[in-house]
Amino acid sequence: MKLEKRTMVPAQGDFSTRAEGDDLYIEGYFAVFNSTYEICPGIVEIIAPGAFADTLGEDIRALTNHDTTLVLGRNKAGTLTLKEDTHGLWGSIRINSSDSDAVNTHSRVARGDVDQCSFGFYIEKEDREVLPDGTVRYTILKVRLLEVSVVTFPAYEETSVSARTRQEETIRKRLFAEHKESLRKKLKGES
């Protein structure tokens, strides 16, 4: 299985900070359901409600810019809370006040300098549909979540775009070959 990193920009500025006593938090949506994300021209993707339901009990980390050396929180440690609601995948990260990198990230989010997020996951189940205009839409139905990230520049990783584009090209070639074989059989009176 290849790790796919997808960018999910939270809708309506739902990414924010808060303080509760001495604790600092970064909170917001790491993924928004039923929102279309363009992978590349002609290929789009959406996340279906329930896609994260079976993975939230696994060991998941919150990172800065997908950097595994900049851990902001971890659900196993009780410093990251994740839940699905009708809007998407919501998370709350309790910041370690002794970690200057984490405090700096919190400050950047509080100022509005950083207000977007992304996540790393394996696709376990998805549907593919060709829309009337020829656009291919992938609906991600089930994932295995590895991490959520507060990011400076949310963008699809080039390798993910290339991988998805190659996947789509392979599917189109297979469908064309199947169509061609079907036509050949019809012309020979075999079907």
List, for residues 47-74, the tens digit of each pLDDT value: 999 999 999 999 999 999 889 999 999 9
More confidently predicted of 153 and 93:
93
Residue 171 lies in a domain: no
pLDDT band for position 163 (50/70/90)? low
Euclidean distance between CA atoms 31 and 90, whole angstroms: 7
Of 44, 1, 3, 31, residue with least CA distance to 160 = 3
| Residue 72 lies in domain | 4-156
Residue 169 lies in a domain: no
Residue 162 lies in a domain: no
Residue 174 lies in a domain: no
Average pLDDT over the chain, rounded to an integer:
83
* AA identity, residue 88: G
pTM for the model stands at 0.76
Write the pLDDT tens digit of every residue in 106-138. 999 998 888 888 888 888 899 999 999 999 999
Write the pLDDT tens digit of every residue in 9-25. 444 346 778 888 888 99
Residue 188 lies in a domain: no
pLDDT band for position 165 (50/70/90)? low
Domain count along the chain:
1
Residue 9 lies in a domain: yes
